[in-house]
Structure 1
Amino acid sequence: MRYTATNSVALAQGTANQFVVTTGSRELGAWASASDLEIKWDKAEHWVGDSDRYFKYAGVAKYEPIKFTRAADPVGTKSVQDWLNQVQSTGGMPEDGALQVVGDTGAVVLEWTIREMFPINWKISGFDASGAKVYIETLTVVHSGLLSAANRAQPS
């Protein structure tokens, strides 16, 4: 898929990449940065009887919360606010989402499924009418895993 000015997410001028985020059927817009895409595994060990031989292997996977940051914009910020209002009013349910890295040509370069994502923090920089600042919006979500497009189950 390519993103252009005619798509719902217009690419910002002068950026090398943008990060388009969706949750369920809701598009949360393009973000300037996505940080803390990290997976850590507990180290598990298995000792063989009373010998000094043991095996090491990956244990339980732990996923860091992901932070998305961008300049606030009318469409994307409203979509995030609608999602947060839905979560607040209904208690919300974790839903699968996606993170797409969109290059300067509008082509999707990389894509991940974000399993069972759920918002845990949203903030916007303070308002100050005395200066011409860009308001920075940050959204933090927790999740149960990242799957690359190559590793997702394909419909049969």
Structure 2
Amino acid sequence: MDQIIGFSKVLNYELYLRSIIITFYALVLFRTTSVRLIGEYSTFDFIISIVLGAILGEAVVENLPLLPAMIACAIIVTVHRLLAYLTYRSRSMGKYIKGEKIIIFQDGHYNRENLHSCHITENDILQSLRTQHSTDDMNAVYKAILERNGEISFLFKDV
């Protein structure tokens, strides 16, 4: 029964100390960099967050030594910052790392090729239109764009 519940490991002070250290380290790491955890994720930010979470989680449960895990996270964040700088300085690097916008509807017509390549349906577009603008009238829309962060934005016709 103890194997299942783990009463004998309740007083594992090393685990608690590692948890506290990693929590404060993660706080410092994310506050001193621009890795976004809440809000608009690019695919790039999402991948970095998953990798950092995996490494820090392994360090908490003692599968990785504490210092090498912290160094690995610092390296990943440094590479993230470097790539973010390069995407800022180079448009082609930005397209490669963060992607580019894709027009999925324009002048009253769905771009079927782009919809298919992005795995988006007309219903997905209508859902975004309803949730963002409280309408499902595509006749009012001039252009719908799948943005680099995965959201659909709308440009409306002049009335």
Interval containing the TM-score (normalised by the shorter chain): under 0.3
Q: TM-score, normalised by structure 1?
A: 0.20
Larger Rg: 2
Bigger share in helix: 2
Q: Which has the higher contact order (CA 8 A, sep 6+)?
A: 1
- After TM superposition, the score normalised by the length of structure 2 is 0.20
